[in-house]
Amino acid sequence: MTRAFNFSAGPGVIPEPVLERAREDLWDIFGSGIGVLEHSHRGKEFDRILAEAEADCRAVGSIPDSYKVLFLQGGATTQAYQVPMAFLPDGGTADYFHTGKWATEAMHEARRYGTVHTAAGSEATRFDRIPEDSEVRYSERPVYVQYTSNNTLMGTQWHRLPPAPPGDAWFVCDASSDIYSRPIDVTRFGFLYAGGQKNLGPAGTVLVLVREDVLDRQVRELPWMLDYRVQAQRESRFNTPPTFGIYLMGQTFKWILGEGGLEAMRSRNEAKSKIVYDALDASGFYRPHARVEDRSHMNITFFTPSPELDARFIEEADEAGLKNLKGHREVGGMRASMYNAFPRAGAEALASFLADFESRHG
Ligand SMILES: Cc1ncc(COP(=O)(O)O)c(C=O)c1O
């Protein structure tokens, strides 16, 4: 059976070779006579899975030894509260860039623990852009500065880092929807997190990259499960970890390395998104949402002239094998998510469908 073009924002497309490999390993991994789902998280097979996943993760992102690689649970949503819970002291301030729903949620959670200062934001224009450096106003002594590198719902992406944080504050980055889609200099961050279900594998496993000295700055005693120091000491397996998620992330890292690493991911992703943006720009019929300079290479958001036509577009695209193009319920319109594993042929198919739909309804 042929696979559809899946534009889902997450869980999203997993590389086909990874799925094929997983199909075999589900039955029997490493010739052990036991499938990957059935091995103990303390056994030597899982030791190997975990060690390879970490090593390959480090190889993909050139992550230095001074950073811990953690595979945690609870989705990126848990990181949104776990970070301030761990690092924002009573009476302390953390700065946030307010660029979309995930930032809104993270700010809401952080207010439980300290003061949240908005460094800059784009709420006034429905989060259609990334703030200019000239708009950024950091607070005097933030503990950290948090931003979302790619705003999944709105289709905007930072194509540079925000201005350097003041004092000894460090960047926290929610990179859930563009992690490993392009080269990254991890040393610019104190803490970075990404839910797995877009570029790294299945939902339920979160990748955390944290600088060791940041771990020492934890300001509260937390339950062991939520204590990053405990998770680091216990190699992310304080309890039974999501073994299959870690396995699939590991396979995805191997796939990225085999495809040429992050430079290859970047050039592919830029080429794919250009095909669709060019098609949108060539038409007076569609209205893309994000400001041109801040357009995401991962999630492309756009509208037809009316909500009725949007609904028609989604329905007809689905019939044509272009699946999951409906925009997020808070935004409406269409969203085409094209993560690392999404094929170029899918971008080309969407570009021709855009022209075809316009010729029939424009
Ligand atoms: C940028 C970003 N942050 C956070 C989340 C929340 O992730 P999760 O559902 O894994 O908790 C998402 C999910 O789509 C996201 O795109």
Are 295 and 288 in contact, with CB atoms under 8 Å apart? yes
Which atom of ligand 1 lies closest to the CA of 151? Answer: 1
Encode pLDDT of 272-318 as tens digits: 999 999 999 999 999 999 999 999 999 999 999 999 999 999 999 99
Question: Rounded CA gap, 64 and 278, in Å?
Answer: 38
Q: Where are the alpha helices (DSSP H) in the chain?
A: 16-27, 44-61, 75-87, 101-110, 212-215, 228-233, 243-258, 261-281, 307-319, 344-361
Give the pairing of strands 170-174 and 191-195.
Answer: parallel
| 322-336 average pLDDT score | 96
| 247-273 average pLDDT score | 98
Encode pLDDT of 187-210 as tens digits: 999 999 999 999 999 999 999 999
| 3-11 average pLDDT score | 96
Nearest CA to ligand 1 atom 7: 76
Instruction: Please state, as a whole number, how many other Cβ atoms lie within 10 Å of the Cβ of residue 290.
Output: 22
Nearest CA to ligand 1 atom 9: 75
Query: How many Cα atoms occupy the beta-carbon half-sphere of 315 within 13 Å?
Result: 6
Encode pLDDT of 23-81 as tens digits: 999 999 999 999 999 999 999 999 999 999 999 999 999 999 999 999 999 999 999 99
> Per-domain residue ranges for the chain?
16-258, 260-361
Encode pLDDT of 142-180 as tens digits: 999 999 999 999 999 999 999 999 999 999 999 999 999
Is any atom of ligand 1 closer than 6 Å to the C-beta of 204?
no
Among 83, 127, 152, 176, residue to substitute to test ligand 1 (most atoms within 8 Å of Cβ): 176
Nearest to 74 by CA among 212, 217, 231: 231
Non-local CB neighbours of 61 within 8 Å, separated by 6+ positions: 180, 184, 186, 209, 262
CATH number of the 260-361 domain:
3.90.1150.10
Nearest to 150 by CA among 184, 119, 114, 118: 184
Average pLDDT, the chain: 97
Nearest CA to ligand 1 atom 5: 76
Question: Rounded CA gap, 98 and 151, in Å?
Answer: 10
pTM given for the model? 0.98
How would residue 239 be classed by pLDDT, with cut points 50, 70 and 90?
A: very high
Which atom of ligand 1 lies closest to the CA of 148? Answer: 1
Class in CATH terms, 16-258:
alpha beta
Give me 296's structure tokens: 């995401």
Q: Is 281 a catalytic residue?
A: no
Q: Is 102 a catalytic residue?
A: yes
Which atom of ligand 1 lies closest to the CA of 152? Answer: 16
Non-local CB neighbours of 130 within 8 Å, separated by 6+ positions: 99, 122, 156, 157, 158, 159, 291, 293, 294
Q: Is 216 a catalytic residue?
A: no
Q: Of 25, 95, 102, 227, which is the active-site residue?
A: 102
**Strand 115-121's sheet: what is its strand order?**
67-72, 206-211, 191-195, 170-174, 144-148, 93-98, 115-121
Is any atom of ligand 1 closer than 6 Å to the C-beta of 76?
yes
Are 30 and 24 in contact, with CB atoms under 8 Å apart? no
Is any atom of ligand 1 closer than 6 Å to the C-beta of 152?
yes
| 113-128 average pLDDT score | 97
Q: How far is the CA of 161 from the centre of ligand 1 (A)?
A: 20
Are 353 and 321 in contact, with CB atoms under 8 Å apart? no
Q: How far is the CA of 7 from the centre of ligand 1 (A)?
A: 16
Is any atom of ligand 1 closer than 6 Å to the C-beta of 303?
no
Q: Is the pLDDT score of 1 beyond 80?
A: no
Is any atom of ligand 1 closer than 6 Å to the C-beta of 75?
yes
Instruction: Give the model's pLDDT for residue 2.
Output: 84
Fold agreement between 16-258 and 260-361: no
Nearest to 283 by CA among 351, 346, 344, 349: 351
How would residue 362 be classed by pLDDT, with cut points 50, 70 and 90?
A: confident
